[in-house]
């Protein structure tokens, strides 16, 4: 299957700093990318959907000014957690899909563990 990578895999930062997480589709062009967060022992919660070259669509309750998403190319999307606080500590997972249409499958990245001190 297609490969999606995330970088970094693990990051620790101080409260108040910003952290950028990259999501790359390695062998296909991702017209749509999704960002999820997962708290310990909980399911994946969709944060936002981004289409290449346009603004991300955020799910209800997700602060767009805090979680900045950029999908500048067909192989790269970034999530920036601005002014991070300890409650932002979580496991962030991206997924990517090529093309539109309901038959197109999503491929998931390995996740990024963010710890805010």
Chain residues binding other proteins by CB under 8 A are 1, 4, 6, 32, 34, 42-44, 46, 49, 57, 91, 93, 95, 97, 100-111, 113
What is the spatial distance between Cα 100 and Cα 24, in angstroms, rounded to a whole number?
18
| Alpha-helical segments (H) within the chain | none
Nearer to other proteins, 51 or 82 (CB): 51
Q: Is the Cβ–Cβ distance between 79 and 33 less than 8 Å?
A: no
**From the CB of 16, what's the least distance to other proteins, in Å?**
26
- Which is it for strands 10-13 and 106-108: parallel, antiparallel or unpaired? unpaired
Closest approach, Cβ 3 to other proteins, in A, equals 11
Cis peptide before 8 (omega within 30 of 0): yes
CB of 110 to other proteins, least distance (A): 4
Give the single-character DSSP code of 26. S
Reduced to 3 states (helix: H, G, I; strand: E, B; else coil), residue 28 is coil
Q: Toward other proteins, which CB reaches closer, 14 or 43?
A: 43
Residue 38 or 82 having the CB closest to other proteins? 38
Residue number, 66 or 113, with CB nearest to other proteins: 113
Shortest gap between Cβ of 99 and other proteins (angstroms)? 10
């Amino acid at each position: 299957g297609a490969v999606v990578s995330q970088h970094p895999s693990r990051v620790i930062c101080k409260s108040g700093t910003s952290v950028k997480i990259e999501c790359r589709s390695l062998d296909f062009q991702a017209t749509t990318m999704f960002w999820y967060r997962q708290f310990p022992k909980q399911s994946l919660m969709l944060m936002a959907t981004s289409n290449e070259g346009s603004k991300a669509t955020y799910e209800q309750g997700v602060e767009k000014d805090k979680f900045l998403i950029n999908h500048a190319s067909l192989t790269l999307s970034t999530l920036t957690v601005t002014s991070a606080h300890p409650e932002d500590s979580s496991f962030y997972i991206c997924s990517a899909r090529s093309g539109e249409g309901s038959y197109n499958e999503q491929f998931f990245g390995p996740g990024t563990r963010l710890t805010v001190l």
